[in-house]
Amino acid sequence: MKDDKNDELQQLKIQRDQSQRASHLIGQNLLQGWALIDQICPNETCYGVPLIRSRDKRKYCVICQNYYLNESEFDSSRHSLTTLQSSAKNDTINEKKHQIDVKEIESTIQQLGKKVQLSYNNTNNITLEQNDTDNNKHQHDVVRKCVSTLSTKLEELSILLKNTSDVSEIKNICNTIESCAQALGAIKSLEHS
């Protein structure tokens, strides 16, 4: 009787641990744009784990890492063993490509970070020759506002980049950061002209 009780307690602990892990993994996927759906994973080893839906509308279990289709969603004339094998090959190729993209992005981020920091530091040193004319005062105000706005945008982009894991979103943010850094450099060159 003690063994039954111990087995039951051990089983409960396993289920609790799995539930916590599933919650964490589901949360990560939800942040990446996946959706939680009202279906439980049919795999017997997954204890009440809800399925999530990817952006391409495929149902997925974060514990057993299987994709699921309803019978109504499965078109046997379109899917055969070779299609599934070719799909698995494409997934492997896409995964390798994704790994390369991440390395490229990390390198780009490091390079952009140096450029942005340099541009940002240079903006703190902008000084304009002060003339008494209204025109120069107006130009000084415009430059100051531009520098302030671009600096604020760079800070916002930095936070956005830190909280983003989508590869295409990261590329877009990096391109925007680079544009802001170039704009700050252009303002700096205007100061000296």
DSSP 101-151: HHHHHHHHHHHHHHHHHHHHHHHTT------SSHHHHHHHHHHHHHHHHHH
Please check the confidence at residue 107 and state whether its pLDDT lies above 70. no
pTM: 0.38
- Of 121 and 32, more confident: 32
pLDDT at 128: 45
- Of 30 and 136, more confident: 30
pLDDT at 148: 77
- Given a contact cutoff of 8 angstroms between Cβ atoms, the answer to whether 120 and 151 are in contact is yes
Please check the confidence at residue 65 and state whether its pLDDT lies above 60. yes
Question: What phi and psi values does residue 39 have, to the nearest 5 degrees?
Answer: -140, 145
Q: Report percent pLDDT > 70 for the chain.
A: 61
Which range, 47-51, 66-70, 74-78, 100-104, is most confident?
A: 47-51
* Sign of the alpha-carbon torsion through 136, 138, 143, 144: positive
